[in-house]
Amino acid sequence: MKNILQREIPEELEGIGKLEAFEGAFSKLKKGWMEEKTVPPPNKAKMPHSSKICDTLRDAILKTKPRNGMTVSFHHHLRGGDNLVYEAIKILADLGIKDITLAASSLTTAHDPILPYFKDGTITQVYASGIRGELGKAIAEGVLPKPFVIHSHGGRVRSVHTGKIKIDLAILAASAADEEGNATGAHGPSAFGSMGYAAIDSWYAKQVIVVTDNIVDYPCVPQSITQNYIDYVVKVDSIGDPSKIAGGTTRITKAPMDLQIARLAAQVIEHSGELKEGFSFQVGAGGASLAVAKYIRKIMKQRSIKGSFILGGVTSYGVDMLNEGLFRSIFDVQSFDAAVSSSLLDNQYHIEIPAGLYANPFNCGCMTNKLDIVVLGALEIDTNFNVNVITGSEGYVRGASGGHSDTASGANLTVVVCPSFRGRIPIVKKKVHTIVTPGESIDVLVTERGICVNPQKPELKAHLEAAGIKVKDIAVLAEEVEGITGKAKPIETTERVVGIVEYRDGTVIDVIHQVKE
């Protein structure tokens, strides 16, 4: 079958089951309820004053009685310093467990070491919002027998609610935890900030192990994760590389091209009609997207505008803006640097939120719905504004859906910033390799070679032109780019579908084909 974006979707896939085609950003949502049944969270019981403490992670895992075919989940709040996923999978593999479904909120290059377990049948399926590095290359080449699923941050919560992801065992790292499993990422030697993505795992997993390098006296405050969901607690020497977990501040890029694009994007935002008293705001964590914040900060000061809240993945730059009084509050589902952890701990207007409150489409309203302005990146964007943030120019998985489609669908003004081409690779083009976010959610594209407004937004175009900002037809820009780079040959793939890209509502917006060697 074809979905509404003309992508060919199989009716059914072995290892996943029947697929539903994407029919538009709000086609399911506008009904007002979710058709799929919600599965109940597990019921548990525990005698008073019995201990949850296990000496080693291996002991804790053994107590959960691991079995073949189980689903194991992790969060990715340890960022580039994560070593826990590897440690845990290695223990399971050493125990001879096979056919594991790995349901991590995201996989990064820090997880490259688990690649051997993709190859030997230990892990046979992956659910994640993003996959990168060696893993992303291997799965695009078809290393896993079952198709992987890319979901959004909000979509992951929905999948757990519906039982599409049935977590047997959640292994959750914390930078501080007590003997009962109350845990947080806000303090401790390996502090990493918000545990927003881990909340749903703690509520729904059949068994939950909290792993920390820092046991604190009971009770652990704040309780990002609460004891009533936790089966076992393990103290380990290390949950990973603290310099990469709790390291540094996120700096605004110095790359002239990113800064130029960010400057243009800030002009667009300034004249969009959305930059007004009380506006809410989200930017990405790097490159041009984060740099937009630098220029918005300047404009807010010049025009004495105060915003309401910053949402999403939070950098120290957002914290600076909160401390300067430019925003009233931060709602933090994921912290990107060390300075954020201390703000989360100390500032009552810097609030940790779970992924469902952040972005799950199927509840009484997630916070992305209250966004006024979001600035997002893109690996590719097509002339219908459909965005690829998951597959790179060689067809490998090297990115993350993350909150891209969640925020894009919710925000009043969704700005995509990217260069029009990178090296010789066109970014703005007729057709993207994989669609993650539908063009209907994107309002304006800002590149160094032109600003393109989605034709569905004529009033935005009028605002910009009234301010003297030149607007270009996206098809004209794509042609210009092709004139500079030449026409790129499309990526060669086989017929085999190795992965699917789920839209936030659970429908399939695109599939990923096996890359030809």
Options 424, 458, 465, 476; binder of other proteins; rule CB under 8 A: 424
CB atoms within 10 A of CB 236: 17
Q: How far is the CB of 398 from other proteins (least distance, A)?
A: 14
User: From the CB of 448, what's the least distance to other proteins, in Å?
Assistant: 4
User: Which residue, 263 or 463, is less far from other proteins as judged by CB?
Assistant: 263
* Structure tokens that stand for 278 in this block: 């009380």
Cβ 500 to other proteins shortest distance, Å: 23
Build a one-symbol-per-residue string for 189-228: x at contacts with other proteins by CB under 8 A, - elsewhere.
----------------------------------------
* H/E element, 136: helix 133-140
253/342 with CB nearer other proteins: 253
- Closer residue to other proteins, CB minimum distance, 84 or 515: 515
Choices 148-156, 374-382, 456-464, 489-497 (CB under 8 A): range interacting with other proteins: 489-497
- Kindly state whether residue 472 participates in binding other proteins, applying the rule CB under 8 A: no
Among 146, 263, 271, 431, binds other proteins (CB under 8 A): 263
**Shortest approach of other proteins to residue 491 CB, angstroms?**
7
Contact 366/410 with Cβ under 8 angstroms?
yes
CB of 425 to other proteins, least distance (A): 6
Antiparallel, parallel or unpaired: β 12-13 and 17-18: antiparallel
Which backbone phi and psi does 143 adopt, to 5 degrees? Answer: -70, -30
Q: Does 304 bind other proteins (CB under 8 A)?
A: no
Asked if 469 touches other proteins (CB under 8 A), the answer is no
- Contact call for residue 425 and other proteins (CB under 8 A): yes
517 binding other proteins? (CB under 8 A): no
Stretch that binds other proteins, among 93-101, 180-188, 372-380, 485-493 (CB under 8 A): 485-493
Nearer to other proteins by Cβ, of 137 and 151: the residue is 137
Of 86-94, 183-191, 324-332, 481-489, the window that binds other proteins (rule: CB under 8 A) is 481-489
Distance CA 268, CA 294 (A): 14
DSSP annotation string for 321-339: HHHTTSEEEEEEEEE-SHH
Determine, following the binding rule CB under 8 A, whether residue 324 of this chain makes contact with other proteins.
no
Specify the residue, 346 or 492, whose C-beta has the smaller distance to other proteins: 492
Of the candidates 317, 318, 374, the residue with the CA atom closest to the CA atom of residue 349? 318
Number of residues binding to other proteins, judged by CB under 8 A: 21
Which range touches other proteins (CB under 8 A), out of 199-207, 258-266, 306-314, 506-514? 258-266
Q: Does 346 bind other proteins (CB under 8 A)?
A: no
Structure tokens at 463: 């605002």
How many CB atoms are closer than 10 A to CB 269? 24
Q: Are 117 and 468 in contact (CB under 8 A)?
A: no
What residues does 283 pair with on adjacent strands?
375
Minimum Å gap between C-beta 386 and other proteins is: 20
DSSP symbol at 201: H
Least distance from C-beta 452 to other proteins, angstroms? 15
* Nearer CB in complex with other proteins: 102/446: 446
Q: Which stretch binds other proteins (CB under 8 A): 71-79, 128-136, 434-442, 483-491?
A: 483-491
Q: How far apart are CA 165 and CA 205, in angstroms?
A: 10
Tokens of 153: 């941050």
* CA separation for the pair 464, 450 (Å, rounded): 13
Closest approach, Cβ 227 to other proteins, in A, equals: 50
**H/E element holding 461?**
helix 458-466
Site for other proteins in 440-459 (CB under 8 A): 448-449
Number of Cβ within 10 Å of residue 87's Cβ equals 22
Q: How far apart are CA 382 and CA 394, in angstroms?
A: 17
Q: For residue 220, which of 421, 34, 52, 370 has the smallest C-alpha distance?
A: 52
CA distance linking residue 102 with residue 198, whole number of Å? 14
What is the spatial distance between Cα 102 and Cα 220, in angstroms, rounded to a whole number?
A: 29
**30 is a site residue for other proteins (CB under 8 A):** no
Site residues (CB under 8 A) for other proteins, limited to 371-400:
393-394
Please report whether residue 489 would count as binding other proteins according to CB under 8 A. Answer: yes
Smallest distance, other proteins to C-beta of residue 493, A: 11
102 and 122 in contact (C-beta within 8 Å)? Answer: no
CA–CA separation, 277 and 19 (whole Å): 44
Interface contacts to other proteins, rule CB under 8 A = 254, 256-257, 259-260, 263, 393-394, 423-425, 448-449, 484-489, 491-492
